[in-house]
Amino acid sequence: MSRKTPPSSEARQLTLHQAVDLADQHYAAGDLVEAESLYRQILNNDPGHPQVHYNLGLALKGLGRPEDAADSYRNALALNPDYAEALNNLGNVLVDLGVPGDAIENFEKAKGVHPDFAEAHNNLGKALMELGRYDEAEASYARALALKPDYNNADYNRSLLLLLRGDFKAGWAGYEKRLVEGSPLALPDRGFRQFLWDGADLAGKRILLYEEQGVGDTIQFVRYARTLKDAGATVVVECQPDLKTLLATAPGIDAVFSPPESVADFDVHAPLLSLPHLCGTDIDSIPADIPYLSANPLTLPDPGDINIGLVWAGNAAHKNDRNRSMDVGRFNPLLGLSGARFYGLQVGARADDPAKAGIGGEITDLSPRLMDYAATAAAIAALDLVISVDTSVAHLAGAMGKPVWLPLPKVPDFRWLLDRDDSPWYPTMRLFRQPRQGDWDSVIDAVLARLKTGKDGL
């Protein structure tokens, strides 16, 4: 019986390359589960390949498993400490996991290995932003753009800082980079034969405006429908289904629809969040003709002298939810306020948080009645005050001209600006800012003190 010759080193290496290539093909095709399986098979046979550990990290991040992805990047770095891409991606995952301080160390190491690594400079800027180190973040974005002038993601990230600081002209222009191909916020091709509106005269034109991000964004920027109507346009709005009934009565909107309904004919179109740029909005020209949304009030069960709506959590899928949402128990110091009745405007999975926390008797749950935003608007119309974290209900209360108090994290979303307790977007809104990241206790203390003063007509 003949004896087979063992495969040569070259053949074994070719087999490895073929296996990696197959796994990479599955990754590129979006089949991340199979890609993970193949990468793990390769590493089980031979764990000494930093590139494969790195690629596994990419697949795991795409599968929504950031902790596992971080472990894979660390494995790659254990084999190759100067692996700049692994350092950069580990930093990104650490930002996602809420530890931007640890992320900064990795971005700095990546820059040390590869000083011209524009992506590391950009991502360092994002981590510095998370920590409120704004001047350093701006310098990092500037360096990224100096190295790579057509770096749209860096331009977009810098725009968030510019807007936060109130530089609307440059900020809104940079914010448009969110729409370019390859951006995480790029919109799908709708197949429209009509052109994007470029700010030209709209007299006699029919314009389609459409939502692109969250419900709160739609509520905030649909105010521009009235601006475009006043410019002579017929305004058609595509919105999220649970906003349709509410927006149908908003001034400036001629027609409103929601998918899967088909859109009526139109001449030009624009995503809602491009309207501040297209309309040349600066901080002094925000359309703030409030209210622009309204509803007939519902009858509150067992109302008090002061009736206050509470919202403690936003969409759990939001990338910054860990910072902007809070535990309902944070409201405990308010609940004993004499003459006040509290109503839960929270919907979804966290509506029963008060019952779980043992304070269900102190907060009347309105969620069974809040079937859409028209119903939520009716509840808000019956209240004296809404206290809401940064989520859609805060925007709705502001758009209705209702007193609304907004507890904010130390590093807020760009639209709330810095170092002010009011909002040019919503004249009836008051902002309560964390003095330190995560310090909700100080925020609630300030809210309680304000309630006790009886100011704001309460």
Helices (H), 365-439: 373-382, 392-399
Identify whether residues 270 and 218 lie together within a single domain: yes
Count of structural domains within the chain: 3
- Tell whether 203 and 173 lie within a shared domain: no
Asked if residue 311 is part of any domain, the answer here is yes
In a domain, 346, yes or no: yes
pLDDT in tens, the chain (458 residues): 333 333 333 334 447 788 899 999 999 999 999 999 999 999 998 899 999 999 999 999 999 999 999 999 999 999 999 999 999 999 999 999 999 999 999 999 999 999 999 999 999 999 999 999 999 999 999 999 999 999 999 999 999 999 999 999 999 999 999 998 777 778 888 888 999 999 999 999 999 999 999 999 999 999 999 999 999 999 999 999 999 999 998 999 999 999 888 887 999 999 999 999 999 999 999 998 999 999 999 999 999 999 999 999 988 777 788 889 999 999 999 998 999 999 999 999 999 999 999 999 999 999 999 999 999 999 999 999 999 999 999 999 999 999 999 999 999 999 999 999 999 999 999 999 999 999 999 999 999 999 998 767 67
Same domain for 33 and 168, yes or no, is: yes
Query: Are 39 and 82 in the same domain?
Result: yes
Task: Tell whether 272 and 127 lie within a shared domain.
Answer: no
Strands (E) in 259-389, as ranges, are: 268-271, 306-311, 340-344, 363-365, 385-388
> Is residue 218 domain-shared with residue 171, that is, in the same domain?
no
| Domain co-membership, 214 together with 126 | no
pLDDT given at position 200: 97
Buried b (16+ CB within 10 A) or exposed e, 286-312: bbeebbbbbbeebebeeeeebbbbbbb
Domain of 64, CATH number, reads 1.25.40.10
Q: Are 55 and 39 in contact (CB under 8 A)?
A: yes
- Alpha-carbon distance of 315 to 350, in angstroms, equals 10
Residue 221 in contact with residue 425, Cβ under 8 Å? no
Q: Could you give the CA distance from residue 153 to residue 13 in angstroms, rounded to a whole number?
A: 37
CATH number at residue 242: 3.40.50.2000
Q: Dump the DSSP string for 18-52.
A: HHHHHHHHHHHTT-HHHHHHHHHHHHHH----HHH
**pLDDT at position 5:** 35
**23 and 164 within one domain:** yes
Residue 294: inside a domain: no
Q: Give the containing element (helix H, strand E) for 119.
A: helix 118-130
From 122, 152, 179, the end of a domain falls on 179
d(CA 328, CA 336): 15
Q: Closest Cα partner for 107 from 77, 85, 136? A: 85
pLDDT at 457: 64
**367 in the same domain as 269:** no
Q: Is residue 130 part of a domain?
A: yes
In a domain, residue 292? The reply is: no
410, part of any domain: yes
Both 93 and 139 in one domain: the answer is yes
The per-residue pLDDT for 9 is: 39
What is the span of the domain harbouring residue 266?
195-278
Based on the fold, state whether residues 39 and 142 are members of the same structural domain.
Answer: yes
* Amino acid at position 376, single letter: T
Specify if 8 maps to a domain: no
Q: Which amino acid is at 424?
A: P
190, part of any domain: no
Let me know: does 407 contact 156? Beta carbons within 8 Å: no
Query: Is 337 found in the same domain as 220?
Result: no
